[in-house]
């Protein structure tokens, strides 16, 4: 569209209107200077969108918008014409995950170690109870333009951002802004452009939630509360947080998940409540790309790839895990893998400490498989599409906002210079050098002498030399159009000179003087645009060498290159400890088919089965740990309240915990993963099978009954806190918390339709209906009896007392109640409530008729549970079969899976361990551990893995060192850290 | 040949006393001969049908069973005779219930406490002691903690009226807890201030060197205007009459410990030293001994061999390095009773059973400088002896039925066996 002259006339009537960078309603302290800001960029290569490239094309903009783009565009007469021959024009980039212009969240005021609790939000006003739910926060009301930061981002090519306050679990709404340095009113394209979420409570000083599972529970409850709030419940009054949460549902929903497993956790919540999240990823999604793809979500991928570390010192390198080393190498493959898998994604610069590494890292990603076209799409069309703003930004089309880049070449090429970033039709100059390519062959005439002058090298920083018989370096300085050349001849030194002058297209001229002080005139004329190529070679960037790593399952040193498969296995001639009525069977064979125990007997044969020689070896059921805290992300305790039955371990299973593998090496096949013991009613538990390499959902013991963790005694009353202000502080109070919880649950049941769905009480209701079972951390006899009486009152049974070190004192009462006991073998004296613990506890309870298990509560002890069970032989003369049952069929029974596992019986799951020796002996080593008929641990395979780990680590360390030598930035070596390190349980410090 | 009488160890006479009434045994009277037992000497040697004779608290004869005159004979047919085991590093008797501050006396305030003595706080009436010795641990090196240089340890025997009676080897060495030379993981560093933990650690180590240099200078002069107790306390390190115990774990920490010992000519024993398997050559060259802490542990690094802590003992044995085992500090009191099983695990991972036994008997005695008195069943040594029905290193077979400290038969009862009896009575369990 042309710019008709009459518009100019019309506008000239309104002299005060739209001075550049001002707003209509704002008075000005000047006379008006209305402008059309009409520009025409001609002869350019225009990339309208990632799929459309126009050669020798024209772009016309006016008043901040694109007026025309194309090959045959008539130039408006009032356009300022910019010749863009040889230049490329791209849409400016869009980043939909940014904190630009927002208030940096201040870090919460830390309370002292184990100090007082804050139960309710500090936020003043008619808002919700939890400080991490800030749905009412509207970032547009707090946004301020920040020229310094804007400049930094413009230099990378960004023009439009979706900004949000990076604080809280429900973070409120985001705003769409440009990076123009103008009044906020003009920069803001759209307020309420998104609703934003995370699992991180951020700045909230409130105790709840203190764990990842707590964050998940809080968000789920918030969805329910918002629905309920629609009914205008009388008791709630006005709750602006819930109202805002409801209002925000229609916006694009962005979730800052920041890790492959957290991505999936967030998506699960979205699916539950019919929401659709755009997931801000962590960059490690390539490690589980199939799960990521199956989620059908869209993603925002970061480019903050891990930096290389200083690993020359082997004592430092030793503590960097293979997983971290591999991630350094493989993280740049992440965007390319998303492309290959056809998963929609945008890119973000968020998380880069040094923003200038954005393009550097993007090029790494391109090197590692991302196509340039897709990269551009992920920075323009895709983010615009995800937010529904492609009608405004994201490509160069008539009517869209004039946000574009003018560059010297294709945008992702390392040599390319981005000269200008136009935002809302206004030029932001990034770099002027090289706009005009002066490289070529010239004739330099100084006085009467003609020389050949070569200008070559980088477009923006060309170098010059006089190439006569000898070559003489010329120091070339160009400022605007002024030029200075200084050179010194070796032979003809008297004629060395300094020349200053002006460049007028291809002819330069000026004056100068020789080193002797003789005045000169000089001139330069271009004779050719062709210049000799630079022969100095750049050092190859070692980090750009293609990744050679492979994804393993899990992404750990001991992960599998491909998942082990179920197979038919025939174990020959072993001593079989059945943990069943059959007792011990000698020189017996066992056949596994389809993951189940298919046959037990002498001289079994199979044509299809893999044969394992069990001669001299012992075969037992897989060990089951009733009390474990391994394989959990984001904390095993939600301590912030005395009743947290809404939190679920099932939400936070970490299938990559190396302790899964380590426990397989101790013959463990199933673990009951418990919430910690810091509150009376803790979280819901999860029984898993140790299917090393599979994902969190696949680890879960399908169809097993749900359980919940309770706790009593010192931990619950926070004996070790400097000051405890959380009810209860005594065992008297603990009992009352229980009574109250179940009284509330009964009331809840009675409440009519339309009640607020309360996740806490829903879980407790299940207990009352025998749909959920309790395992209760407990030590002393008084509290054990008290809980049983509470249970009697409310007509349910306590399924299991766990730890139960004084169980022997009330074993008869426990028997009467019909409960199970899961205890330590010999722990005692580490705190007051265990001073009467005895290693004969298990034996007495068993003699009285209880079903007794030995548990670990400790990632190390778990791999010797068979030997812990054997301590009852030592201290109480328990018979060997009974001892072994305490870690096989007995825990299976108390977990209600005794029909599936825990003993060796035809038809049961093939969860088995082949031991080198009597499984109760200190000398016994698990040689093969089988879960569902799949060999997950084999001492021979383990040997191979160890060698492969050493080899692969060595390769990566060498590569990292080479990268450093090649100029890659490094950081000091830092030991790898697994967040679930130190997952010792109740036996340790009271948590 | 006349045998005075046959002695049955039915424990009845001893077991009826309540914990509070249990008392240390009187000095050995007469001569006792343990016969027909499998004697595990402690130095690797085994005598299948062996005999151990002791008198006046000392072992007078060890050989295949033969007839003897005028001795109390104890027939141990099928049973195993071991040297009393030694817990080389423990806070036993310094704490009763670790979570209850009032019961803990093992961690003093301050950074440099070389003159602090663990012995004077050792509580012979701790209920925990009896549960430890009834598993066959008869001697223990009681170690102070807290600060950088934590003080002096002493070896005690576990059947005493008071700490003076208990003292077996007084103030045998100084304990230095080396600061960690490992940086924080990135995840922690982002949270707060950037701290170079390695530099911090090395700076601290340098203050320790300075302390020793000053102490050395001080001790070269015999008269002082003012006595410096801290310098006086470390005097024995310089003439190697005291041991320099350095508690550390990682390779660089171990190397620094070796360097310091060399600089000051100290007799070095590493405690913990979980990464010592990486530097066995250096340890061997410098004749450094090691007290491994709690082999029942997870590996230090994620990619380490999953059984590394179990097999570190074998790595040291194969390299010819003297080592023993103890339990981790903090739980190092009640948990000492698992010492034989930790050794048993090492036997499952590369050691022979006799080597594993030596580790917690003779080698421990050598490391603590008490091998002339104890550590093995050899003539002239104290009769510190344990008898088990089966292999003592395996919980499946270990049943300690008899134990002697300095020839005194000790009461193997403890608070826990008594509670066991009480509740067997309640439920009518036979």
CB contact under 8 A, A973 and B183: yes
Which among B99, B187, B399 is the nearest to A830, CB-wise?
B99
Nearest to A309 by CA among A963, A978, A966, A977: A963
Runs of H (alpha helix) within A59-162: 147-155
Residues of A in contact with B306 (CB under 8 A): 558, 661-662, 665, 942
Residue A168 in this model has a pLDDT that exceeds 90 = yes
Range A851-876 average pLDDT: 97
Q: Are the CB atoms for B159 and B405 separated by under 8 Å?
A: yes
| Distance (Å) of CA A776 to CA A614, A822, B13 | 39, 10, 41
Do B279 and B307 belong together in one domain? yes
Task: Please compute the mean of the pLDDT values over residues B347-362 and round it to a whole number.
Answer: 98
Q: Count CB neighbours of B102 within 10 A.
A: 7
- Better-predicted residue by pLDDT, A15 or B111: B111
Q: Which candidate from B300, B393, B399 shows the least CB-CB separation from A922?
A: B393
Question: Comparing B138 with A34, which gets the higher pLDDT?
Answer: B138
Rounded CA separation B360/A56 (Å): 86
Kindly tell me the burial class for residue A315, based on how many C-beta atoms sit within 10 Å of its own C-beta (0-12, 13-18, 19 or more): middle
Q: DSSP label at A413?
A: -
Q: Residue A541 — very low, low, confident or very high, per pLDDT cuts 50/70/90? A: low
A929 in helix, strand or coil? Answer: strand
C-alpha distances out from residue A472 to A338, A451, A466, A467, A651, Å:
52, 11, 5, 7, 71
Separation CA A612–CA A604 (nearest Å):
12
- On whether both B332 and B425 belong to a single domain, the answer is no
Local confidence band at A748 (pLDDT 50, 70, 90 cut-offs): very high
User: Among candidates A508, A518, A357, A350, which has minimal Cα distance to A443?
Assistant: A508
Q: Considering only the beta carbons, identify the residue of A319, A661, A665 that sits closest to B301.
A: A319
Sheet strands side by side (includes A93-98) = A93-98, A158-163, A170-178, A188-198, A253-256, A277-280, A298-302, A345-348
User: Is the sign of the CA dihedral B25, B26, B27, B29 positive or negative?
Assistant: negative
Mean pLDDT of chain A: 92
The DSSP letter of residue A495 is G
Residue B70 and residue B152 in one domain: no
pLDDT band at A720; cut points 50, 70, 90: confident
Domain boundary among B329, B348, B374: B374
pLDDT reading at A407 higher than 80: yes
Say whether the peptide bond before residue B380 is cis (omega within 30 degrees of 0): no
Asked if residue B108 and residue B92 are part of one domain, the reply reads yes
Round to whole Å and give the CA distance between A801 and A775: 6
The predicted complex's ipTM stands at 0.95
B302–A974 CB contact, under 8 Å: no
Give the residue-averaged pLDDT of A447-454: 90
CATH of domain A440-528: 2.40.128.120
Residues of chain B with pLDDT > 70: what percent?
93
pLDDT range class, residue A723, cuts 50, 70, 90: confident
Higher pLDDT, A168 or A494: A168
Residue A127 has a pLDDT of 96
**Same domain (yes/no): B262, B403:** no
pLDDT at position A538 over 60: no
Confidence of residue B188 (pLDDT cuts 50, 70, 90): low
- The count of other CB atoms within 10 Å of the CB of residue A177 is 26
Which residues, in sequence order, are CB contacts of A696 under 8 Å at separation 6+?
A261, A264, A653, A654, A655
Q: Which residues make Cβ contacts (< 8 Å) with residue A79, sequence separation at least 6?
A: A3, A38, A39, A40, A60, A62
Would you state the pLDDT for residue A674?
A: 97
For residues A844-854, give the mean pLDDT. 98
A-chain CB neighbours of B307 within 8 Å are 665
Q: From CA B94, how far away is CA A221, in angstroms rounded?
A: 49
Of B96, B186, B303, the CB nearest to A829: B96
Tell whether the model's pLDDT for residue B14 goes beyond 50: no
Residue A2: pLDDT band with limits 50, 70, 90: very low
Q: Are residues B193 and B75 in the same domain?
A: no
pLDDT one-digit tens code per residue, A564-585 = 889 999 999 999 999 999 999 9
What per-residue confidence (pLDDT) applies to A515? 85
Comparing CA positions, the residue from A569, A654, A628 lying closest to residue A777 is A628
Please give the interface size between A and B, counted as residue pairs whose CB atoms are below 8 Å apart.
Answer: 153
Is B182–A319 a contact, with Cβ atoms under 8 angstroms apart? yes
Average of per-residue pLDDT across A914-933 = 98
CA distance B371 to B375: 6
Q: How many domains does chain B have?
A: 2
Q: What's residue B187's pLDDT?
A: 67
- pLDDT category, B329, cuts 50, 70, 90? low
**Which of A714, A848, A949 lies nearest to residue B427, judging by beta carbons?**
A848
DSSP single-letter state for residue A224: H
pLDDT at position B88: 97
Beta strand pairing status for B167-177 and B149-157? antiparallel
DSSP conformation letters of A618-656 = EEEEPEEEEEE--SBSS-S---SSSB-TT-BGGGSB-TT
| Region of poorest pLDDT, from A108-117, A343-352, A951-960, B271-280 | A108-117
Return the residue matching tokens 């990268």: A963
| A723 or A60, higher pLDDT | A60
Q: Please indicate, yes or no, whether residues B36 and B140 belong to a single structural domain of this protein.
A: no
Residue A768 CB burial class (10 angstroms; 0-12, 13-18, ≥19) = middle
pLDDT of residue A988: 39
Quote the pLDDT of residue B193.
58
Cis status of the peptide bond prior to A238, with omega within 30 of 0: no
Average pLDDT of the segment spanning A111-128: 82
Residue with tokens 């405890």: A724
The reported pLDDT for the residue numbered B17 is 59
Which residues of B fall within a CB distance of 8 Å from A840?
416-417, 419-420
Closest C-alpha to A818, from A795, A841, A843, A844? A795
Chain A residue with CA closest to B304: the answer is A946
Q: What is the mean pLDDT of residues A347-373?
A: 95
Rg (CA), chain A: 36
d(Cα A574, Cα A604) in Å, to the nearest integer? Answer: 12
Question: In sequence order, what DSSP letters do the residues of A948-981 get, joined into one string?
Answer: HHHHHHHHHHHHHHHHHHTT--EE-------TTT
Contact A808 B333 (CB under 8 A): no
Average pLDDT across chain B, whole number: 93
Query: Among residues of chain A, what percentage have pLDDT more than 70?
Result: 94
| Cα–Cα dist A60/A3, whole Å | 10
pLDDT bracket for residue A7 (50, 70, 90):
very low
Contact between A831 and B296 using a beta-carbon 8 Å cutoff? no
Q: How far apart are the first and last CA of chain B?
A: 40
Contact across the interface for A953 and B303, Cβ inside 8 Å:
yes
- Give the pLDDT score at B189: 58
Determine the length of chain B.
430
Please provide the distance, in angstroms rounded to a whole number, between the alpha carbons at the two ends of chain A. 71
Confidence band of A504 (pLDDT split at 50, 70, 90): confident
B365 contacts B382 by C-beta, under 8 angstroms: no
Contact call for residues B294 and B328 (beta carbons, < 8 A): yes
Asked whether the bond before A133 is cis by omega within 30 degrees of 0, the reply is: no
Residue A116 confidence class, pLDDT cut points 50, 70, 90 = confident
Report which of A136, A140, A132 is spatially closest to residue A245, judged by C-alpha positions: A136
Query: Does B292 lie in the same domain as B302?
Result: yes
Asked whether A728 and A716 are in contact (CB, 8 A), the reply is yes
What gap in Å lies between CA A496 and CA A474, rounded to an integer? 10
pLDDT score, position A724: 84
- Predicted local distance difference test score (pLDDT) of residue A979: 61
Residue A984 has pLDDT above 60, yes or no: no
- Domain coverage including residue B402: 1-83+376-430
Q: In a 10 Å sphere around its CB, with 0-12 CB exposed, 13-18 middle and 19+ buried, how is residue B416 labelled? A: buried
Determine whether the interchain pair A976/B183 forms a contact, defined as Cβ–Cβ distance below 8 Å: no
Considering the segment(s) A620-932 as one domain, its CATH architecture is Alpha-Beta Barrel (3.20)
| B124 beta partners | none
User: A553: distance to nearest CA of chain B, Å?
Assistant: 15
Q: pLDDT value at position B112?
A: 96
At residue A188 the predicted structure's pLDDT band, cuts being 50, 70 and 90, is: very high
B303/A322 Cβ within 8 A: yes
Domain chopping of chain A, boundaries: 440-528, 620-932
* 8-state DSSP, B20: G
Q: How confident is the model at residue A115 (pLDDT cuts 50, 70, 90)?
A: low
B347/A867 Cβ within 8 A: no
Higher pLDDT, B17 or B15: B17
Helix A841-848 / helix A865-876 crossing angle, nearest 10 deg: 80
In DSSP terms, which residues pair with B54 in a beta bridge? B32, B59
Under 8 Å between Cβ of A400 and A393: yes
Chain A residue nearest residue B126, CA to CA: A829
Residues near A866 by beta carbon (within 8 Å), at least 6 away in sequence: A620, A623, A666, A667, A884, A887, A915, A919, A920, A924
What confidence category does residue A985 fall into, taking pLDDT thresholds of 50, 70 and 90? very low
Contact A318 B251 (CB under 8 A): yes
Structural contact between residues B156 and B166, judged by C-beta atoms closer than 8 angstroms: yes
Q: Which of B187, B175, B123, B183 is nearest to B148 (CA)?
A: B175
- Whether A202 shows a pLDDT value over 80: the answer reads yes
Q: What is the CATH number of the domain that holds B22?
A: 2.30.40.10
DSSP H stretches of helix in A446-509: none
Q: Which residues of A touch B252 (CB under 8 A)?
A: 315
C-alpha–C-alpha distance, residues A161 and A100, integer Å:
8
Residue A27: what pLDDT?
A: 81
Which residues of chain A lie closer than 8 angstroms to B395, CB-CB? 867, 870-871, 873-874, 920, 922
CB-closest option in A808, A917, A949 to B303: A949
The answer to which of A13-17, A57-61, A713-717 has the lowest mean pLDDT is A13-17
pLDDT tens profile B403-412: 999 999 999 9
- Do B301 and A319 touch, CB atoms closer than 8 A? yes
Q: Count Cα neighbours of A57 within 13 Å in the Cβ-side half-sphere.
A: 19
What's B268's domain CATH number? 3.20.20.140
pLDDT score of A986: 47
pLDDT score at B21: 82
Query: Is B193 in the same domain as B240?
Result: yes
Residue B84 and residue B408 in contact, taking contact as beta carbons nearer than 8 Å: no
With CA atoms as reference, the chain A residue closest to B278 would be: A315
Per residue in A481-495, pLDDT tens? 899 999 998 888 888
Query: Are B320 and B251 contained in the same domain?
Result: yes
- Chain A residues close to B96, C-beta within 8 Å: 829
Judged by CB atoms closer than 8 Å, whether chains meet at B423 and A808 is answered as yes
Return the minimum-mean-pLDDT range out of A379-383, A700-704, A964-968.
Answer: A964-968
Candidates A829, A916, A976, A988: best to mutate against B (most CBs of B within 10 A) is: A829
| DSSP bridge pairs for A404 | A91, A422
Closest Cα in chain A, distance from residue B301 (Å): 6
Please report the pLDDT score of residue B12 as a whole number: 40
As a whole number, mean pLDDT of residues A106-116 equals 58
User: What distance in Å separates the CA atoms of residue A292 and residue A342, rounded to the nearest whole number?
Assistant: 11
Higher pLDDT, A794 or A478: A794
Where on the phi/psi map is residue A708: left (φ > 0), alpha (ψ -120 to 50), or beta? beta
**CA B90, B93, B98: angle at the middle one, nearest 5?**
80
Nearest chain B residue to A307 by CA: give it: B186
- Contact (CB, 8 A) for A761 and A744: yes
Query: Helix axis angle, B339-348 relative to B308-319, nearest 10°?
Result: 80
Give the one of A830, A860, A880 whose C-beta lies nearest to B298's C-beta.
Answer: A860
Supply B181's token pair. 């030379």
Lookup: tokens for A53:
């490239």
- Check pLDDT > 70 for residue A900: yes
Strand partners, A53: A47
Contacts of B398 in chain A (CB under 8 A): 874
Check residue A532 and give its pLDDT: 74
Chain A hits for B302, CB-CB cut-off 8 Å, are 321-323, 556-557, 658, 976, 978
């Amino acid at each position: 569209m042309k710019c008709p002259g009459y518009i100019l006339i019309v506008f000239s009537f309104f002299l005060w209107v739209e001075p550049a960078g001002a707003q209509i309603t704002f008075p000005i302290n000047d006379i008006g200077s209305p402008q059309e800001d009409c520009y025409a960029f001609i002869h350019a290569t225009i990339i309208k969108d990632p799929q459309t490239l126009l050669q020798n094309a024209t772009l016309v903009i006016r008043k901040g918008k694109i007026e025309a783009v194309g090959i045959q565009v008539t130039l408006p007469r009032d356009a300022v014409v910019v010749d863009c021959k040889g230049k490329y024009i791209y849409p400016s980039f869009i980043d939909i995950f940014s904190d630009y212009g927002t208030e940096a969240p201040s870090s919460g005021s830390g309370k002292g170690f184990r100090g007082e609790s804050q139960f309710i939000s500090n936020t003043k006003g008619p808002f919700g109870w939890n400080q991490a739910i800030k749905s009412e926060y509207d970032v547009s009301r707090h946004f301020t333009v920040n020229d310094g930061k804007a400049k930094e981002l413009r230099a990378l090519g960004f023009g439009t951002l979706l900004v949000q306050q990076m604080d809280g679990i429900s973070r409120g709404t985001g705003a769409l802004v440009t990076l123009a340095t103008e009044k906020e009113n003009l920069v803001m394209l759209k307020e309420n452009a998104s609703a934003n979420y995370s699992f991180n409570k951020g700045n909230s000083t409130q105790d709840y939630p203190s764990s990842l599972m707590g964050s998940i529970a809080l968000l789920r409850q918030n969805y329910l509360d918002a629905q309920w709030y629609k009914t205008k419940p009388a008791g709630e009054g006005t709750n602006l947080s819930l109202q805002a949460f409801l209002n925000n549902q229609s916006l694009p929903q962005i979730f800052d998940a920041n890790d492959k497993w957290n991505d999936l956790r967030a998506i699960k919540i979205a699916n539950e409540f019919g929401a659709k999240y755009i997931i801000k990823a962590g960059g490690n999604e390539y490690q589980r790309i199939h799960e990521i793809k199956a989620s059908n979500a869209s993603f925002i991928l970061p480019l903050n790839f891990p930096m290389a570390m200083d690993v020359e010192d082997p004592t430092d390198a030793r503590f960097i895990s293979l997983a971290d080393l591999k991630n350094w190498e493989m993280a740049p493959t992440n965007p390319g893998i998303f492309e290959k898998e056809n998963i929609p994604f945008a890119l973000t610069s968020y998380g880069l400490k040094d923003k200038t590494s954005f393009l550097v890292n993007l090029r790494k990603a391109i090197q590692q498989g991302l196509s340039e076209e897709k990269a551009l799409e992920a920075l323009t069309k895709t983010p615009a599409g995800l937010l529904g703003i492609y009608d405004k930004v994201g490509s160069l089309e008539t009517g869209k906002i004039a946000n574009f880049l003018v560059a010297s070449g294709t945008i992702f090429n390392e040599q390319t210079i981005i000269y200008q970033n136009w935002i809302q039709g206004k030029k932001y100059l990034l770099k002027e050098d090289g706009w005009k390519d002066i490289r070529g062959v010239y004739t330099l005439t100084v006085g009467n002498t003609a020389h050949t002058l070569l200008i070559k090298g980088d477009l923006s920083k060309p170098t010059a030399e006089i190439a006569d018989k000898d070559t003489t370096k010329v120091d070339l300085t160009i400022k605007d159009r002024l030029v200075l050349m200084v050179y010194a001849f070796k032979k003809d030194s008297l004629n060395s000179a300094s020349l200053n002058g002006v460049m007028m297209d291809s002819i330069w001229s000026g004056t100068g003087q020789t080193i002797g002080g003789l005045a000169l005139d000089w001139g330069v004329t271009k004779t050719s645009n062709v210049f000799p190529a630079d022969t100095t070679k750049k050092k190859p960037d070692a980090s750009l060498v293609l990744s050679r790593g492979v994804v393993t399952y899990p992404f750990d040193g001991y992960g599998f290159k491909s998942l082990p498969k179920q197979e038919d296995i025939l174990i020959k001639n072993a001593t079989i400890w059945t943990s069943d009525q059959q007792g011990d069977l000698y020189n017996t064979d066992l056949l596994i088919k389809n993951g189940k125990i298919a046959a037990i007997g002498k001289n079994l044969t199979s044509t299809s089965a893999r044969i394992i020689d069990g001669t001299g070896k012992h075969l037992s059921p897989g060990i089951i740990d009733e009390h474990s805290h391994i394989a959990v992300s984001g904390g095993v305790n939600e301590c912030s309240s005395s009743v947290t039955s809404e939190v679920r371990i099932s939400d936070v299973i970490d299938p990559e915990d190396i302790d899964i593998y380590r426990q397989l090496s101790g013959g463990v096949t199933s673990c009951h993963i418990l919430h910690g013991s810091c509150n009376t009613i803790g979280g819901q538990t999860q029984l898993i099978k140790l299917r090393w390499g599979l994902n969190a959902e696949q680890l879960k013991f399908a169809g097993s009954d749900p359980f919940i963790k309770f706790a009593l005694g010192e931990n619950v009353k926070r004996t070790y806190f400097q000051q405890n202000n959380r009810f209860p502080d005594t065992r008297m109070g603990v009992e009352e918390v229980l009574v109250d919880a179940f009284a509330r649950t009964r009331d809840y049941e009675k409440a009519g339709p339309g009640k607020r769905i309360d996740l806490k009480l829903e879980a407790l209701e299940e207990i009352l209906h025998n749909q959920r079972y309790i395992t209760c951390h407990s030590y002393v006899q008084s509290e054990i009896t008290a809980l049983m009486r509470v249970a009697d009152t409310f007509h349910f049974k306590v399924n299991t007392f766990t730890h139960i070190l004084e169980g022997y004192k009330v074993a008869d009462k426990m028997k009467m109640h019909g409960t199970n006991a899961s205890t330590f073998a010999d722990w005692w004296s580490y705190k007051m409530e265990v001073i009467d613990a005895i290693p004969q506890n298990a034996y007495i309870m068993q003699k009285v008729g209880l079903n007794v298990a030995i548990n670990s509560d400790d990632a190390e002890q778990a791999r010797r549970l068979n030997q812990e069970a054997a301590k009852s032989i030592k201290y109480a003369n328990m018979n060997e079969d009974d001892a072994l049952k305490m870690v096989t069929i007995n825990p299976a029974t108390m977990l209600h899976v005794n029909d599936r596992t825990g003993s060796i019986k035809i038809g049961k799951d093939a969860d088995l361990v082949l031991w080198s020796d009597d499984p109760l002996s200190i000398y016994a080593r698990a040689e093969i551990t089988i879960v569902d008929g799949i060999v997950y641990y084999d001492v021979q395979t383990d040997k191979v893995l160890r060698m492969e780990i050493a080899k692969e680590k060595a390769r990566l360390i060498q590569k990292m060192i080479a990268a450093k030598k090649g100029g890659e930035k490094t950081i000091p070596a830092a030991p790898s850290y697994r967040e679930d390190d130190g997952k010792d349980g109740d036996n340790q410090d009271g948590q | 040949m006349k045998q005075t009488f046959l002695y049955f160890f039915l424990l009845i006479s001893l077991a009826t006393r309540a914990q509070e009434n249990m008392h240390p045994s009187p000095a050995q009277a007469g001569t006792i001969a343990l016969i027909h037992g499998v004697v595990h000497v402690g130095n690797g040697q085994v005598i299948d049908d062996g005999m151990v004779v002791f008198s006046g608290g000392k072992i007078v004869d060890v050989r295949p069973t033969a007839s003897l005159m005028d001795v109390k004979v104890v027939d141990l047919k099928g049973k195993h005779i071991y040297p009393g085991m030694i817990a080389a590093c423990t806070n036993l008797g310094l704490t009763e219930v670790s979570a209850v501050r009032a019961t803990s006396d093992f961690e003093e305030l301050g950074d440099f406490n070389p003159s602090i003595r663990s012995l004077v706080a050792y509580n012979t009436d701790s209920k925990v002691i009896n549960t430890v010795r009834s598993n066959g641990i008869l001697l223990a090196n009681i170690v102070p903690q807290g600060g950088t240089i934590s003080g002096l340890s002493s070896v005690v025997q576990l059947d005493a009226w008071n700490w003076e009676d208990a003292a077996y080897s007084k103030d045998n060495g100084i304990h230095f807890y080396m600061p960690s030379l490992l940086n924080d993981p990135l995840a922690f560093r982002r949270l707060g201030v950037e701290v170079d933990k390695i530099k911090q650690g090395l700076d601290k180590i340098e203050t320790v060197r300075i302390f020793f240099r000053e102490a050395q200078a001080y001790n070269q002069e015999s008269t002082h205007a003012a006595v410096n107790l801290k310098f006086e306390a470390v005097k024995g390190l310089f003439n190697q009459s005291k041991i320099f115990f350095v508690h550390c774990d990682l390779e660089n920490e171990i190397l620094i410990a070796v360097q310091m010992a060399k600089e000051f000519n100290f007799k070095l024993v590493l405690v913990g030293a979980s990464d010592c398997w990486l530097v066995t050559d250096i340890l061997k060259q410098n004749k450094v001994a090691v007290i491994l802490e709690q082999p029942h542990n997870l590996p230090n690094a994620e990619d380490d061999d999953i059984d590394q802590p179990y097999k570190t003992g074998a790595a040291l044995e194969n390299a010819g390095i003297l080592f023993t085992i103890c339990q981790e500090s903090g739980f190092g009191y009640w948990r000492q009773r698992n010492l034989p099983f930790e050794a048993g695990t090492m036997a499952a991972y590369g050691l022979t059973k006799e080597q594993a036994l030596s580790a917690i008997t003779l080698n421990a005695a050598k490391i603590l400088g008490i091998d002339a008195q104890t550590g093995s069943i050899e003539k002239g040594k104290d009769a510190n002896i344990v008898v088990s029905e089966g292999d003592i290193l395996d919980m499946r077979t270990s049943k300690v039925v008899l134990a002697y400290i300095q020839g005194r038969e000790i009461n193997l009862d403890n608070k826990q066996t008594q509670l066991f009896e009480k509740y067997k009575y309640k439920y009518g369990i036979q």
